[in-house]
Structure 1
């Protein structure tokens, strides 16, 4: 039986917080503000780069002026795209799990709030791009997660059959819930609340468990 598994990216397949923090620190320094902590940056991830920049600006006391935000966003993007994989790592077990899912007949894809260009760059750098038959980024459509449209867009590009979305955060859970699609929560990513408080069909801390979870969706 065919079917599709779509993944979030940051906090789900990869730990990108160190590189996002580095770009944010460079941006804040450029505008005369003190860097925020890595933990703060990590807590700001999930709603797309414009929101991440807005939160970094707020934490550093730069305010929320739209023209200032636009300038900071451009600076952050420049710094991040210059080195998006310097300190980013793939979570343990991801590569084997993706291979096992493909071997079991699942088609794979990505639905992330990260802009599509950097997402593709990172997937290519880690040898994951060929496995992902669709990549939907935060700028692919006019709306981002938790609006369900990006997730529908991803699944519509993949074969019919059972559907499973895999993510790590409240945003991902809300997206799956709005779309009416089964959701598997990776508990070791960037979530801000206890697992029990995040709507999910399955939760896992080890990617070795994911192929069996996917099989339950059939």
Structure 2
């Protein structure tokens, strides 16, 4: 396979893009809610709450089951985190075709990054447990910098840590497409993620239904921009 490729760096969101983390996020959220005396939130609802970090997920879970106060968030957050750390990849599944796509990108000299609003420590633990300890060249989490997505700074940082160059971003939510737009980086949205709205309303440069489509789509975007 030729070494040349139109992008030097491809960055990915984590939750709902690289992996279906909803089962473990749902379990952790519902564990914390249960300790706080709240009913569980259905897994399908949790999928649409993900994308702004663990604290925001707990806030949304509390709001969905009753009153949400910062006192309850402060009480429930360590409960959520402790449980999630112990069960971070129990039910999480890598999306089909992803590992093969990452292999093909790496073989063509592309640097791979993760840019997520998940706290960096949680993201690293999740990635390690999924067998990706050495897979990515850079990881920027929601607390790596003073700002988080959709501010473009985390994406800029991820690209810089990969050595810079022409980059593309892959995500699943409006947070991701707004981040790409703010960074002037073309963004591909997966149709199987955790979006809180129809994916055709995200404003992505392209949509993919399977990671088999990733490399042809990246090549098509580069040709269209040439």
- Per the normalisation by structure 2, the TM-score is 0.92
Could you say which residue in structure 2 is the equivalent of 1:115?
119
Could you say which residue in structure 2 is the equivalent of 1:15?
20
Structure 2 residue matching 1:155: 3-state secondary structure: helix
In the TM superposition, what are the counterparts of 1:4-43 in structure 2 within 5 Å?
4-43=9-48
Structure 2 residue matching 1:141: 3-state secondary structure: coil
Cα deviation for residue 70 of structure 1 reads 1.1
Identify unmatched segments of 5+ residues in structure 1.
none
| Partners of 1:56 and 1:24 in 2: CA distance | 7
Residues 26-49 of structure 1, C-alpha deviation per residue, up to 9 Å, x if partnerless? 101111111111112111111111
In the TM superposition, what are the counterparts of 1:82-161 in structure 2 within 5 Å?
82-161=86-165
Structure 2 residue matching 1:64: 3-state secondary structure: coil
Shifted more, 21-30 versus 187-196: the winner is 187-196
| Partners of 2:200 and 2:90 in 1: CA distance | 34
Q: Is the 8 A contact 2:149 2:179 kept in 1?
A: yes
| Partners of 1:72 and 1:160 in 2: CA distance | 39
Cα deviation for residue 65 of structure 1 reads 2.2
Cα deviation for residue 217 of structure 1 reads 5.1
Q: Is the 8 A contact 1:169 1:191 kept in 2?
A: yes
Aligned residues: 217
Structure 2 residue matching 1:44: 3-state secondary structure: coil
Identify unmatched segments of 5+ residues in structure 2.
none
Cα deviation for residue 213 of structure 1 reads 2.1
Cα deviation for residue 158 of structure 1 reads 1.2
Cα deviation for residue 194 of structure 1 reads 2.1
Cα deviation for residue 129 of structure 1 reads 2.6
Structure 2 residue matching 1:25: 3-state secondary structure: helix
| Partners of 2:185 and 2:10 in 1: CA distance | 11
Structure 2 residue matching 1:208: 3-state secondary structure: helix
- Per the normalisation by structure 1, the TM-score is 0.95
Cα deviation for residue 159 of structure 1 reads 2.3
Cα deviation for residue 69 of structure 1 reads 1.0
Structure 1 segments (4+ residues) deviating >6 Å: none
| Partners of 1:92 and 1:132 in 2: CA distance | 18
